[in-house]
Amino acid sequence: MNAPDAYNCVIIDDDEIDRLTTQMYARKYPFLNITGVFSSAEEAALKLGKESVDVLLTDIDMPGLNGLDFRATMMQVPVCVFITSFPDYAAEGFEVEAFDFLVKPIKSERFEHCMHRVRNYFELKRKAELFEYSLGSGNTIFIKDGHQQIKLNLHEIVYLEALKDYTRIVTTTKKYSVLSSIGNLLLESAFQSFLRIHRSYAVQRHFIDRVTPQQVYVRDYSLPVGRTFKDALLNLK
């Protein structure tokens, strides 16, 4: 019997030992419902058809159709984790919206960390589907939760965290999730006081306590600085 919040998972790897290893690790997580294990992307493509897939755990370097090209045909799958022996594929992997990138041989701790992120993603997705946001006056944002409207003061938002098409809004007292990318939020004039410090994070300027080359400290949080965003922090005084 599947867990109440189980998500359909497909595993693809042309190496039998690696395929069995991935399957062994994945079985430890009740929220994953393994619906298919395949030795090639072509086999997976033939059998999946219109079946719903939520999580794709796939090798990249395989004979015939490789994992990158297969992912490009399966962009509707929300979570794609590449598992490969070749770290150089990472950049290409993220071009097809890889959720994570694991290097063989898989380490238990690293797989656990990945699964923790996957579970958090689906929890946020479920919550965010109940939320909408709209801008109020220049200093407020409204979060719609069912039939309730929650009014947030923009100056109380500490930082924004991206998770694919969703954004976590962290205030001084609570966390919310909205169905909007961080990029789209930051295009709104109301969010001009936020500074993008990483592909996944934007912080409210007046909450910044300290900046180092690798971290930005806001309130009780320590957030990473992305390499392409370091120049934006040079002018902070």
**pLDDT tens-digit readout, 67-103:** 999 999 998 899 999 999 888 877 788 788 899 999 9
Q: In one letter, which amino acid is 182?
A: I
Cα 161 vs. chain centroid, distance in angstroms?
10
pLDDT > 90? residue 202: yes
What pLDDT, on a 0 to 100 scale, did the predictor assign at position 218? 92
Cα–Cα distance between 100 and 117 in angstroms, integer? 9
User: What's the start-to-end Cα distance of the chain, in Å?
Assistant: 57
Instruction: Give the model's confidence band at 128: pLDDT under 50 very low, under 70 low, under 90 confident, else very high.
Output: low
Q: Which helix (H) or strand (E) holds 45?
A: helix 41-48
Structural domains for the chain: 7-127 (3.40.50.2300), 131-234 (2.40.50.1020)
Cα–Cα distance between 154 and 206 in angstroms, integer? 12
What are the CA-CA distances from residue 63 to residues 31, 41, 133, 194, 234 (Å)?
31, 9, 46, 46, 47
**pLDDT tens-digit readout, 157-201:** 999 999 877 888 999 888 888 888 888 888 887 788 899 999 899
